């Protein structure tokens, strides 16, 4: 093989930051989700002491992951892991509000078990909520690896830096995109193919708010595209399917895309 080509790869190897495999990180996040929602796995019967032990093991595993990606300083990594697990009860509370939104809002949902075990929206939001807390703790790489794993599995792309309120309802969800600087209020319903994106992909705007703000109790139907950091969707608004929006709409708005449909009957 070409010597220059081989030397190029060796140089990249020498410059590479050591990070655990994506699968190891994803397995950690899934193990945590399976622990707090045992409906996802085989039947368990943990008492408090055993449960504390399993949480401790997951905290130790997080510290090992952080050791390669944050700092060789063991005390710092322990502090981040401790802080994450201190926040876990609040993350669990928020996930239960997301669960309630799906149980109450989806006529096809038969039970909490079905949603926890089967619904891609719930899984993607759970991975986002774990990743978001790590993002707030300024952990590099790991948050994005977690949400991109969920993206691969579900087709739902949520950036870990997005700010999302309680009772998030994602129905179906395939093709849904929530950009980095998006802000979403509480009791929001999002359907498949929705894009909450940026007007421009100019790199010089990377430190600005590029994605929209969605108010409380907003419904955005499938295929809608809402772009721009200055675009605000007011509370209690409904955005219809296939709408393209780059401007703000006031509270209580209904926005829809009107299409003229003609049906030509076959001559009898």
- Report which of residues 8 and 37 the model is more confident about: 37
Calpha distance 104→121 (Å, rounded): 15
CA atoms within 13 A on the CB side of 91: 21
Calpha distance 244→226 (Å, rounded): 6
Q: What is the pLDDT of residue 119?
A: 97
Does pLDDT of 11 surpass 90? no
Q: What is the pLDDT of residues 160-185, one digit of tens each?
A: 999 999 999 999 999 999 999 999 99
Does pLDDT of 2 surpass 70? yes
Q: Is the pTM here over 0.75, yes or no?
A: yes
Q: What is the pLDDT of residues 182-226, one digit of tens each?
A: 999 999 999 999 999 999 777 777 789 999 999 999 999 999 999
């Amino acid at each position: 093989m070409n010597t220059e080509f081989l030397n190029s790869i060796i140089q990249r190897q020498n410059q590479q930051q050591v990070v655990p495999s994506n699968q190891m990180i994803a397995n950690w996040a899934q193990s945590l989700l399976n622990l707090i929602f045992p409906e996802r796995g085989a039947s368990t019967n943990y008492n408090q002491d055993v449960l504390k032990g399993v949480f401790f093991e997951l905290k130790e595993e997080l510290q090992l992951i952080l050791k390669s990606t944050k700092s060789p300083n063991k005390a710092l990594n322990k502090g981040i892991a401790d802080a994450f697990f201190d926040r876990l009860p609040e993350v669990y509370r928020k996930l239960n509000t997301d669960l309630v939104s799906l149980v109450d809002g989806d006529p096809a949902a038969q039970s909490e078990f079905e949603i926890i075990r089967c619904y891609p929206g719930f899984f993607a939001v759970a991975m986002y909520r774990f990743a978001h807390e790590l993002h707030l703790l300024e952990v590099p790489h790991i948050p994005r690896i977690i949400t991109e794993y969920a993206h691969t599995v579900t087709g739902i792309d949520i950036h870990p830096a997005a700010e999302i309120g309680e009772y998030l309802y994602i129905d179906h969800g395939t093709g849904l995109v929530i950009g980095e600087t998006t802000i979403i209020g509480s009791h929001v319903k999002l359907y498949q193919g929705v894009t909450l994106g940026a007007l421009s992909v100019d790199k010089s705007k990377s430190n600005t708010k590029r994605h929209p703000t969605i108010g409380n109790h907003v419904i955005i139907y499938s295929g809608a595209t809402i772009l721009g950091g200055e675009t605000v969707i007011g509370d209690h608004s409904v955005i219809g399917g296939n709408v393209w929006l780059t401007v703000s709409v006031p509270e209580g708005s209904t926005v829809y895309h009107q299409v003229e449909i003609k049906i030509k009957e076959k001559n009898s």
